[in-house]
Amino acid sequence: MSSIQARNVNHPEHRENLKAAKYNIIREAILAVLPEGGWMSFTDLEDGVRARLRDQQVPQKLFPKPGSVRWYCKAVQLDLEARGEIQRQPRKSPLRLRKSGSSVA
């Protein structure tokens, strides 16, 4: 099974080996759920990804353990930030995200 070396925006020297199939499922869901304008909390993003996985009828056996969807969401979110595909709202807590290329503050 192929894997992806996911980056971490907070630790540029660190790479996480993720199964490519799972990475791509979560990546597609994150990009489908995140707004282009405005911001979304990580909690809402995770809820949206879970709903999308249900809607897409992704087999639960791909993410069988409690917390595995959350873990993959976080790992892929950090990678997408490092690649410049999504961005986090600066100096805000809790974490808020959106797709890159957005000009709405």
Tokens of 15: 């790479």
Q: Chain-centre distance of CA 22, in angstroms?
A: 11
Give 76 or 101, the one with higher predicted confidence: 76
Where are the domains positioned within the chain?
Answer: 3-99
Within the chain, where are the H helices? 20-33, 42-55, 68-82
Across the chain, mean pLDDT equals: 93
Q: For 13-48, how does the pLDDT look when each residue is reduced to its tens digit (9 = 90+)?
A: 999 999 999 999 999 999 999 998 899 999 999 999
